[in-house]
Amino acid sequence: MKIEKTNAARLLDKAKVAYELIAYEVDESDLSAIHVAEQLAEPVEQVFKTLVLKGDKSGYFVCIIPGADELDLKLAAKVSGNKSCDMIPMKDLLSVTGYIRGACSPIAMKKHFPAFIHETCLHYPKIYVSAGKRGLQIFLNPADLIKVINAGVKALITIAD
């Protein structure tokens, strides 16, 4: 099966970044990163999800966190220079980013937004992020992703005791 390149993959090609496009089986009733990790037979901590938020001061920004974790909105607001922030409404995702739910890549959004990735990404030689199409992930070195999207590496989740 030939995998069609996405805009995210084309942007990585242009930046001369090494990556792999990995296909997986989509379940429309479960678009979670946990499901993606199961399909890839990879640890969910290595499969990162892309969340789009709106801050009270900065406007839109992006957080990329491990698939099973919950974003700490207080930490997200703090690292992005906001007093408060919220996830954007699902209905706004396509118009803001150019991507749909379950296929939101941190790479090649309609506009460049400030981006922050959870610090555990550096624990792995490679991580997965959405390629911008359901059923397709990009597997790449986190340092390359950080450089391409100019992401800050921050603590974005609260670890439960």
pLDDT confidence of residue 2: 67
CB 5 within 8 A of CB 21: yes
pLDDT in tens, 92-139: 999 999 999 999 999 999 999 999 999 999 999 999 999 999 999 999
Q: Considering the chain, what percentage of its residues have pLDDT values greater than 70?
A: 97
Angle in degrees, CA 50, 93, 125, rounded to 5: 15
Largest CA distance in the chain: 47
pLDDT confidence of residue 64: 97
**Residue 50 domain flag:** yes
Is the pLDDT at 160 greater than 70? The verdict is: no
CB 68 within 8 A of CB 159: no
**Residue 35 domain flag:** yes
pLDDT confidence of residue 158: 77
The whole-angstrom distance between residue 26's C-alpha and the CA centroid of its chain comes to 17
Rg from Cα positions in the chain = 15
- Phi/psi at 46 (5° precision): -100, -5
**Residue 161 domain flag:** no
What's the CATH code of the domain at 137?
3.90.960.10
**Residue 160 domain flag:** no
Mean pLDDT for the stretch of residues 12-20: 96
**Residue 100 domain flag:** yes
How many domains does the structure of the chain reveal?
A: 1
**Residue 84 domain flag:** yes
What pTM did the predictor assign?
Answer: 0.94
- Phi/psi at 153 (5° precision): -100, 115
Is the pLDDT at 161 greater than 90? The verdict is: no
Q: How confident is the model at residue 157 (pLDDT cuts 50, 70, 90)?
A: confident
Output the average pLDDT for the chain. 94
State the residue range of the domain holding 144.
7-154
User: Is 116 exposed, middle or buried (CB count within 10 Å of its CB: 0-12, 13-18, 19+)?
Assistant: buried
Tokens of 122: 């550096």
Is the pLDDT at 155 greater than 90? The verdict is: no
**Residue 1 domain flag:** no
